[in-house]
């Protein structure tokens, strides 16, 4: 499987820019899920990332979408996409902050033609067409109730494989690897060394 690095960007845009540049130097295309308020605050830096990589939304202010009404969710996703468009970027995908969302959240993304990247691949494979039940049960355990509505067949899902650089086997694995902007600086040197040894242009 081709290795794709994905990053959640909720605070440290400078780290995201550095990571985007590092991946570019090694001929790798990444995915960066950026909060809408950061797009408005740092449009030049976000445009640099979007020039070489796929960019998606990560909430506007990193909200918990499992606690929001469908109307509020749709408003925030639309507001985030509008921020990207305002500065000449296409918001192709979405990753829900803290991976908290309802089944209606995913229906909104499908309606808007935006792909989702909020599920772990192993969970996605295990549950298959019934993953909406798994999401319903997970939220129910946290005291967040909503109807277990099946996901739309036209939802485009890009699940991630391994979480963060804290995974001791991170550098031996392949897949869609997730990392966070705030953790990236601690592992930059190791990541650069790994790229030098494993990804030649």
Taking a C-beta distance cutoff of 8 angstroms, is the pair 56, 95 a contact?
A: yes
Number of independent structural domains in the chain: 1
Q: What is the DSSP string of 123-185?
A: HHHHHGGGHHHHHHHHHHHTT-----PPPPTT--B--B-EE-TTSTTGGG--SEEEEETTTHH
Range of the domain at 114: 4-198
- Say what the pLDDT of residue 149 is: 85
**CATH code for the domain of 86:** 3.20.20.370
Tell the residue number behind the tokens 């780290």, with chain if given. Answer: 15
Does pLDDT of 197 surpass 60?
yes
Task: Convert the pLDDT of each residue in 2-55 to its tens digit.
Answer: 678 999 999 999 999 999 999 999 999 999 999 999 999 999 999 999 999 999
Highest mean pLDDT range out of 11-20, 137-146, 190-199?
11-20
- Which tokens in the block code for residue 197? 């040894």
Count, in order, helices (H) and strands (E) of the chain.
8, 7
Q: Is the pLDDT of residue 1 over 50?
A: no
Whether 148 has a pLDDT exceeding 60, the answer reads yes
State the SS3 of 175-192.
Answer: CEEEEECCCHHHHHHHHH
Task: Report residue 171's pLDDT band, with 50, 70 and 90 as the boundaries.
Answer: low
User: In whole angstroms, how far apart are CA 3 and each of 23, 155, 171, 198?
Assistant: 11, 23, 11, 11
Residue 95 C-alpha from the chain's centroid: 4
What pTM was computed for the model? Answer: 0.91
């Amino acid at each position: 499987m081709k290795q794709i690095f994905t990053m959640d960007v909720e605070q440290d845009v400078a780290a995201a820019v550095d990571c985007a540049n590092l991946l570019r130097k090694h001929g790798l295309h990444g995915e960066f899920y950026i909060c809408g308020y950061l797009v408005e605050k740092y449009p030049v830096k976000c445009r640099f990332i979007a020039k070489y990589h796929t960019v998606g939304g990560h909430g506007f202010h990193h909200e918990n979408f499992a606690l929001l009404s469908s109307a509020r969710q749709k408003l925030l996703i639309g507001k985030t996409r509008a921020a990207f468009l305002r500065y000449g970027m296409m918001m192709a995908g979405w990753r829900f902050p803290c991976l908290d969302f309802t089944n209606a959240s995913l229906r909104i993304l499908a309606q808007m033609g935006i792909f989702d990247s909020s599920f772990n691949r192993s969970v996605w494979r295990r549950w298959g067409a019934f993953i909406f039940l798994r999401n319903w049960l997970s939220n129910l355990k946290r005291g967040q109730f909503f109807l277990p509505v099946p996901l739309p067949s036209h939802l485009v899902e890009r699940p991630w494989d391994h979480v963060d650089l804290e995974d001791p086997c991170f550098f031996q694995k392949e897949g869609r690897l997730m990392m966070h902007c705030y953790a990236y600086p601690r592992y930059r040197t190791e990541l650069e060394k790994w790229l030098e040894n494993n990804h030649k242009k």
